[in-house]
Amino acid sequence: MARRLFPAVLVAALSVISNAGVSEAWWWSPGWRWDSLFPAPAADRGRDEHRPPVSSIVTAKVYRDMFPHKDDADCPAHNFYNYTPFVRAAELFPAFGAEGDAATRRREVAAFLAQISHETTGGWATAPGGPFAWGLCFKEEISPPSDYCDATSTQWPCVAGKSYHGRGPIQLSWNFNYGPAGQALGFDGLGNPELVAGDPDVAFQTALWFWMTPRPPKPSCHDVMVGRYCPSADDVQANRTAGFGLTTNIINGGIECGPGGAPQAVADRIGFFRRYCAMLGVDTGPNLDCAHQQASFG
């Protein structure tokens, strides 16, 4: 069974694509202060009290149906990505899945779950239930090619002996993401990066922190999916218009978007998104792909 689950080609593909999220050095912008953006904006944009929480969009049953294999013994993350820590983490980000009309809210949640599913997928083309039934199978990058330490990021200095490879639902990577994620969420991201693959609450929190936090000139994935993103003239020129494809661009555009990108990885993300939109009874909206978009913002 382990062989069926992890054929060599899959492991190779995973090491290239699945763990590539949150990995781009050009995200880091030295002048930007995370604490000017968090938590005040999240609080300002608090969930409308009249709107139901994320747990009413994704019930425990829907979550089980979305991730039928996540607790299989062959999935390294089995028994890690439970429903309760997902819902608890969402409560810390009250604007998540709570802005715009019912369709917008559902579509945003589907987009988030699709992106984390691609980042953690254990699926392959002929997998039981199809390739998109295998989200949340991995919690940590397999065979990381490096310790993901960007020594030029003096604001978030690497701690000797620590590795900042992909961990958790969004596969948080690099010291310049672990540092601010930890500071925002109240843990030592640089000194204790292992926590992201050790504590399910922290794991989901890092994924939602990443989803909700803009990194100028990049917007947040949240703002893109709720219609708050205002493309600049450069963005328009580069075809960076709102839609699921733009969240892929934000997450891993330098590798996957534009000419010479990674269309198979992009298609995997879109496949999860289509499946979850169907399950939540919402259309996908436009601009699913990012092949025609330029990657680098700014």
Ligand X SMILES: *[C@@H]1O[C@H](CO)[C@@H](O)[C@H](O)[C@H]1NC(C)=O
The CB-of-245 to ligand X minimum distance in angstroms stands at 12
Residue found under tokens 């995370």 = 34
Closer of 162 and 292 to ligand X (Cβ): 292
Rank residues 117 and 287 by Cβ distance to ligand X and give the closer one: 287
Both tokens of 83, joined, read: 């429903």
Indicate the residue among 238 and 280 with the shorter CB distance to ligand X: 238
Using the CB atoms, write b or e for 56-78: b if 16+ within 10 Å: ebbeeebbeebbebbbeeebbbe
CA distances from 174 to 98, 179, 189 (A): 30, 9, 10
Is residue 294 near ligand X by the rule CB under 6 A?
Answer: yes
Could you tell me the smallest distance in angstroms from the CB atom of residue 294 to ligand X? 5
- Residue 221 CB, shortest distance to ligand X, in Å, is 21
Catalytically annotated residue among 119, 140, 141, 256: 119
> Between residues 143 and 232, which has the closer beta carbon with respect to ligand X?
232
**Which of 42, 35, 38 lies closest to 95 in space, CA to CA?**
42
Q: C-alpha angle with apex 135: 130 to 138, nearest 5 degrees?
A: 125
Min dist. Cβ of residue 253 to ligand X (A): 12
For residues 214 and 223, give the distance between their C-alpha atoms in angstroms, rounded to a whole number.
8
Among positions 20, 110, 238, 262, the unique one binding ligand X when judged by CB under 6 A: 238
CB of residue 190 to ligand X, shortest distance in Å:
37
The whole-angstrom separation of Cα 101 and Cα 110 is: 14
Q: What are phi and psi of 38, to 5 degrees?
A: -140, 135
- Inter-residue contact 42 to 184 (CB < 8 Å): no
Q: Does 292 bind ligand X (CB under 6 A)?
A: yes
Q: Is 287 in the site for ligand X (CB under 6 A)?
A: no
Instruction: Check residue 239 for interaction with ligand X (CB under 6 A).
Output: yes
Report the residue number, 109 or 295, with the smaller CB distance to ligand X.
Answer: 295
Phi then psi for 167, rounded to 5 degrees?
A: -140, 150
| Residue 99 appears among annotated catalytic residues | no
Q: Determine, following the binding rule CB under 6 A, whether residue 295 of this chain makes contact with ligand X.
A: no
Q: Is 114 in the site for ligand X (CB under 6 A)?
A: no
Size of the site for ligand X (CB under 6 A): 4
185 sits near ligand X (criterion: CB under 6 A): no
Number of neighbouring beta carbons within 10 Å of residue 41: 17
Least distance in angstroms from the C-beta of 40 to ligand X: 35
133 binds ligand X (CB under 6 A): no
Handedness of CA 111, 38, 199, 86 (dihedral sign): negative
In what helix (H) or strand (E) does residue 176 lie, and over which residues does it extend?
A: helix 175-185
Strand, coil or helix: 139: coil
Q: Which residue, 207 or 290, is less far from ligand X as judged by CB?
A: 290
Return residues touching ligand X (CB under 6 A): 238-239, 292, 294
- Residues catalogued as catalytic: 119
